[in-house]
């Protein structure tokens, strides 16, 4: 579709750990059937949504260059999105939630480039280009909403997951893949659905990521805007679903004023939503987001934040009161009677940073097996080491090249040879290095001289805890990448023959080839592909000069409506679209 590729400056800024998720769109792999599915959904949605969607939607379709008749090219979208300060990339289905959020923080729209099968034309749990490009892209042309999306990504990328979240991500990804794979059996689909249901029914404490995912669902995906009595649609899940965009406007769906309570309202991805939330305007979304962010470990830190990181079993970061940041997989903490963290430990590769930049000499090569340190104030001294002036340090015998022994209020004791210290930009000590060092707590040895150099992290307390690394360059890949791969199946001979017929009608409609016989196509379709209905709609539309053929097509469509009542409304809607267009 494009003879050249245009990139977008925002894509060049993406860090390597996000670039690993990007894949080529491979536009030529879209079949004429895929194009017909896109066209049907877009025509139907735009026709209906013009009266119920937020005004930004139709304006955004024009601004983002999304065509009703053709699946959008990522390269074409990037040329246009660049003008509104955004970009788009193609990915392979669901990607890990933190990575998804981080893309948004970089103002990059993540688009699953696959498209739903004709059998799932109304709705699919799998992310597809109809949902992503036709649902998300138009609304970001609204500046207020675009900033909300960016800020949401910035905060959401730091949300801490639980092990349950990891299991749910894998289960949902597998279900979306199995449902869209042409060769999947009923048993495989049932098994995948059962796994999702099993996890959804588990009574587990909601993690930060689960709660922020809920906020994302009830706003970005399924949000309504305006008044509760007369709302408009802006959520991409509604904008891209033929069925739910209508269903959500009925009294069968309860409308609630949007608030932070939505963070605790879970959802079922396989079912229509029984309730939706209405925000008065896009700026109010930001208020609720900031209200929620104030509850996160990102801003509160402390033992609760560290406990969340330990439970996540994933790479996370704590920031101490000195600004020192420790990134790794946290495995242990010791707290005092006031629930203040007095000791922490990581296992495996760990990196130390300050102001999101790795400290020289303190990457994972220096700490391949983990990192540990006590925190707090020294016993009998009403002054933390980090707050000591050079005179104080001298008074308490903190000399480079001198042996020293000291005890924290918690009872943790440190004894070793003081080698050197590292200070932050404000001149405060953030790290002291010891050799021949022993660290003990009660009857337990926390560090021995044979372990090597001991780096003492300075800080009274943990001021922040969040998912991911402080400096993304510290780790090769800080996000989990699923082993569940999307299924690429080759078309059967019957499928290929049907694709040829669709292609001929598409060529006829676009005027590239008017030599084809529509009657012949109809005969082949009814003889060899009796269940197909969408090509009949397309034939009916282009056979304007052959009333006899149109009548025959209508008769066949009416027969299909009787034979397959589940698609009767799709056929009726298709014919109505053509009549309204005439």
Q: Flag residues of the chain having pLDDT under 70.
A: 1-7, 125, 477-490, 582
pTM assigned to the model: 0.86
Cβ atoms of residues 295 and 327 within 8 Å: no
CATH architecture label of 297-474? Roll (2.30)
Rounded-to-integer distance, Cα 267 and Cα 279, Å:
18
Question: What is the CB-side half-sphere exposure of residue 445 using CA atoms within 13 A?
Answer: 8
Q: Which residue has the tokens 């009916």?
A: 540
Number of C-beta neighbours around residue 227 at 10 A: 12
Residues in the chain: 582
- Which tens digit of pLDDT belongs to each residue from 471-490? 999 998 644 555 565 656 66
Give the pLDDT confidence score for residue 67 in this predicted structure: 87
Give the pLDDT confidence score for residue 6 in this predicted structure: 52
Cβ atoms of residues 373 and 456 within 8 Å: yes
Number of C-beta neighbours around residue 280 at 10 A: 14
Cβ atoms of residues 59 and 73 within 8 Å: no
Number of C-beta neighbours around residue 66 at 10 A: 20
Give the pLDDT confidence score for residue 435 in this predicted structure: 95
Phi-psi region of 178 (alpha: psi -120 to 50; beta: other; left: phi over 0): alpha
Q: Which CATH superfamily is domain 9-290 in?
A: Aromatic amino acid hydroxylase (1.10.800.10)
Give the pLDDT confidence score for residue 261 in this predicted structure: 97
Rounded-to-integer distance, Cα 72 and Cα 81, Å:
12
Rounded-to-integer distance, Cα 354 and Cα 250, Å:
53
C-alpha distance from residue 398 to each of 321, 344, 415, 460 (Å): 20, 23, 12, 18
Give the pLDDT confidence score for residue 357 in this predicted structure: 96
**In the numeric block, which tokens belong to residue 101?**
């959020």
């Amino acid at each position: 579709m494009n003879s050249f590729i245009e990139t977008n400056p925002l894509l060049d800024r993406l860090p390597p750990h996000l670039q690993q998720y990007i894949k080529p769109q491979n536009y030529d792999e879209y079949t004429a059937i895929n194009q017909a599915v896109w066209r049907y959904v877009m025509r139907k949605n735009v026709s209906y949504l013009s009266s119920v969607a937020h005004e930004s939607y139709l304006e955004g379709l024009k601004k983002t260059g999304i065509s009703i008749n053709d699946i959008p090219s990522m390269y074409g979208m990037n040329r246009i999105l660049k003008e509104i300060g955004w970009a788009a990339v193609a990915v392979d289905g669901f990607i890990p939630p933190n990575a998804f959020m981080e893309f948004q923080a970089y103002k990059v729209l993540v688009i699953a480039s696959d498209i739903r099968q004709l059998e799932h034309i109304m709705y699919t749990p799998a992310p597809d280009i109809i949902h992503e490009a036709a649902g998300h892209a138009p609304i970001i042309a609204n500046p207020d909403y675009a900033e909300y999306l960016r800020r949401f990504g910035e905060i959401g990328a730091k949300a801490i997951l639980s092990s349950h979240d990891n299991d749910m991500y894998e289960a949902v990804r597998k279900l979306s893949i199995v449902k869209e794979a042409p060769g999947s059996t009923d048993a495989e689909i049932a098994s995948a659905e059962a796994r999702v249901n099993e996890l959804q029914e588990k009574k587990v404490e909601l993690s930060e990521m689960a709660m922020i995912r809920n906020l994302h669902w009830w706003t970005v995906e399924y949000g309504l805007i305006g008044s509760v009595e007369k709302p408009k649609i802006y959520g991409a899940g509604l904008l891209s679903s033929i069925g739910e965009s209508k269903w959500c406007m009925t009294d069968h769906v309860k409308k609630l004023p949007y608030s932070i309570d939505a963070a605790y309202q879970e959802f079922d991805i396989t079912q229509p939503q029984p309730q939706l939330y209405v925000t008065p305007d896009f700026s109010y979304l930001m208020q609720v987001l900031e209200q929620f962010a104030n509850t996160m470990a990102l801003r509160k830190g402390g033992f609760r934040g560290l406990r969340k990181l330990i439970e996540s079993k994933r790479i996370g970061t704590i920031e101490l009161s000195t600004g020192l940041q420790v990134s790794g997989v946290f495995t242990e903490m010791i707290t005092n009677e006031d629930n203040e963290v007095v000791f922490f430990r990581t296992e495996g590769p760990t990196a130390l940073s300050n102001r999101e930049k790795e400290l020289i000499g303190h990457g994972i090569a220096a700490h391949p097996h983990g990192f540990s340190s006590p925190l707090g104030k020294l016993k009998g001294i009403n002054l933390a080491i980090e707050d000591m002036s050079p005179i104080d340090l001298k008074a308490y015998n903190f000399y480079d090249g001198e042996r020293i022994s000291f005890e924290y209020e918690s009872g943790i004791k440190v004894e070793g040879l003081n080698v050197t210290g590292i200070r932050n930009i404000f001149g405060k000590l953030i790290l002291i290095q010891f050799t021949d060092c022993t660290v003990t707590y009660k009857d337990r040895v926390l560090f021995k001289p044979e372990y090597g150099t001991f780096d003492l992290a300075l800080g009274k307390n943990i001021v922040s805890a969040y998912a991911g690394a402080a400096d993304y360059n510290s780790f090769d890949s800080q996000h989990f990448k699923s082993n569940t791969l999307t299924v690429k199946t080759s078309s059967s001979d019957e499928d290929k023959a049907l694709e040829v017929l669709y292609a001929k009608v598409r060529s006829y409609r676009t005027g590239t080839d008017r030599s084809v016989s529509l009657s012949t196509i109809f005969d082949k379709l009814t003889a060899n592909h009796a269940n197909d209905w969408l090509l009949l709609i397309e034939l009916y539309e282009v056979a304007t000069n052959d009333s006899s053929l149109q009548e025959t097509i209508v008769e066949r469509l009416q027969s299909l409506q009787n034979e397959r009542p589940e698609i009767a409304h799709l056929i009726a809607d298709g014919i109505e679209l053509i009549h309204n267009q005439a």
